[in-house]
Chain A
């Protein structure tokens, strides 16, 4: 007969196995590693980072003030002196584009953040309490999201008798959080009904721990991706509304407002419209590419 000492274990190398087992692998660490491997997304991220830095720094360092008119140098084509040229009132477009970028980016980022926070809280509460609370809250969402956005914005600007950046932001957020609330609610409900949460409950894991280890990680990644895709939407809405005259008012400016001004003289001085339009497009593209990268990185099914 054989005894245990007659056998040696091959194929399962204990030393090597241990090294593997000790390698700390967290979901977020793994996601970060995958994001770094996605070159396109990293480039998009770097471009956005540089863009944010320059909209902060350029208006401060620039020798020109963005409101300062200089009637002797009107409608000048781009040159060493005025890198993006000047507008019809002789203002330096380089300064104005980055000043306008402050407003456009701020609207995009603040808008998305507000929408995310309100949507998470609202959707989380609806999912947590369930029953008639959930029903009532979701009916409100349905009503709100059926109201056309443009109508709300026009009503808001009439109501507050102004069309400023904050009115614009407020109006865009009023209905904007609804999709996030829906997303959060359905995701939360799906997770709390899942078998891995049931397993955790059977094992006696506390509800708080379940929320922290299962519910939030599984929801937050969805939200991050959703928000990244929403930012360009906000930027574009602002640009569009400013373009049709409902948004940012002079002397303050934004990419949309600049494009609108440039459009008047488009056939003679196309550079006036080109630069703001270029930055709108670049920013939206970068956010979309970065969102793609984040989605791939945060979805464990795509882990290689």
Chain B
């Protein structure tokens, strides 16, 4: 099992210092694996730590505790040469297509930026590469001389993808890459990403709060709530039969078009708590309809309730009889 995992994340924590000495536990004790060639998705409400988790994996934020094994090696203990290779193999695609491209750089320069660090191409080869990449993401070569503001959101997102692909990466963190796009463009970009994944054997960490798109692209899904993973499963079983009360509530909010909806909409009580002082015990206990005494004392751990379907809930076994 171990050698099929590109990433093994164990008890990862990332805390941010906040005002008056408190900490925001943006990622709090998270454990999961990402297998080679799969798309692992992180879903959850905004502010639950998805972005922080993705950025900590790539070393943008140093981790507070825990371990991140990349190809079986602790990613914070790589040698200089290994670090450089890590930076070539691991890329990121951003949510905001407007701020992820330098407004004062021509598109061709943007795509070449990382490539020039890792590959010794001649200028002619570089231009050829840029052309190739532009075609690959569905654009034409004349985009190379344009500037970001001349492009639409979808085109910019394609440039962001081309910039990542220029490195011949093996892993890409896709941080809500379609959230800022028009609905009509979203499917195009998603399909492009799926095609590229198959063509280049990429592994994705796909971050989203749009559950209908996630189902389309993911192999496995992790559901996050206030910095913790509450459920991890292959995407089919998760949509068919969510086990955690939070996941149930989240998924009951997806509109079914065409189908007569049989499931009832589960409404959660209260607001999402402030991440600076989450409730004790299970973080979901303040909003959970099935809360018991035990929940507010003891934090539940992820347990394999069904084969390859993990859930962190004391009541899961009882509720899903």
A-side residues, CB < 8 A to B, are 12, 14, 16-18, 20-23, 25-27, 30, 194-196, 198-206, 209, 213-214, 217-218, 221, 300-301, 303
Chain B residue with Cβ nearest A201:
B60
Residue of B83, B113, B149, B150 with highest tally of chain A CB at under 10 A: B113
Q: Contacts of A200 on B, CB cut-off 8 Å?
A: 113-114
Q: Contacts of A22 on B, CB cut-off 8 Å?
A: 127
Residue of A16, A204, A303 with highest tally of chain B CB at under 10 A: A204
Within 8 A of A (CB), among B91-131: 91-92, 94, 96, 99-106, 108, 110, 113-114, 117-118, 127, 130-131
Q: Contacts of A202 on B, CB cut-off 8 Å?
A: 58, 60, 87, 90-92
Are B113 and A203 in contact, CB atoms less than 8 angstroms apart? yes
| Listed A/B pairs (14) with beta-carbon separation below 8 Å | A17-B140, A23-B145, A25-B108, A25-B145, A195-B96, A195-B100, A196-B110, A198-B92, A200-B113, A202-B92, A204-B87, A205-B117, A209-B117, A300-B147
Q: With contacts A23-B145, A203-B117, A303-B147 known, what are 20 further pairs, Cβ within 8 A?
A: A14-B141, A20-B142, A21-B131, A195-B99, A196-B99, A196-B101, A196-B110, A198-B60, A198-B92, A199-B160, A200-B114, A202-B90, A203-B113, A203-B114, A204-B87, A204-B88, A205-B114, A213-B105, A300-B103, A300-B147
Are A18 and B114 in contact, CB atoms less than 8 angstroms apart? no
Q: Contacts of B117 on A, CB cut-off 8 Å?
A: 203-206, 209
Are B141 and A303 in contact, CB atoms less than 8 angstroms apart? no
Are B149 and A303 in contact, CB atoms less than 8 angstroms apart? yes
Nearest-CB distance from A28 to chain B (Å)? 9
Q: Which of B92, B96, B114, B163 contacts A204 (CB 8 A)?
A: B114
Chain B residue with Cβ nearest A214:
B102
Q: Which of B84, B90, B99 contacts A194 (CB 8 A)?
A: B99
B315 close to chain A: CB less than 8 A: no
Q: Which of A17, A198, A204, A221 contacts B131 (CB 8 A)?
A: A17
Interface of A is mostly: helix
Interface of B is mostly: helix
Q: Contacts of B130 on A, CB cut-off 8 Å?
A: 21
Also in contact, A199 and B100, with CB within 8 A (given A204-B88, A204-B118, A205-B113): yes
Q: Contacts of A217 on B, CB cut-off 8 Å?
A: 104
Q: Contacts of A213 on B, CB cut-off 8 Å?
A: 102, 105, 113
Also in contact, A20 and B118, with CB within 8 A (given A199-B94, A202-B60): no
Q: Give complex CA distance A126, B135 in Å.
A: 43
Q: Contacts of A20 on B, CB cut-off 8 Å?
A: 141-142, 144-145
Chain B residue with Cβ nearest A304:
B150
Are B106 and A26 in contact, CB atoms less than 8 angstroms apart? yes
Are A204 and B113 in contact, CB atoms less than 8 angstroms apart? no
Nearest-CB distance from A102 to chain B (Å)? 36
Question: Top 6 closest A-B pairs, CB basis?
Answer: A203-B114, A17-B141, A204-B87, A20-B142, A195-B100, A25-B145
B24 close to chain A: CB less than 8 A: no
Are A300 and B104 in contact, CB atoms less than 8 angstroms apart? yes
Q: Give complex CA distance A217, B106 in Å.
A: 13
Q: Give complex CA distance A303, B102 in Å.
A: 15
Q: Mark B177-188, 1 if CB is under 8 A from A, else 0.
A: 000000000000
Q: Contacts of B103 on A, CB cut-off 8 Å?
A: 218, 300-301
Chain B residue with Cβ nearest A15:
B141
Nearest-CB distance from B125 to chain A (Å)? 13
Q: Which of A21, A26, A198 contacts B127 (CB 8 A)?
A: A21
Q: Give complex CA distance A203, B91 in Å.
A: 7
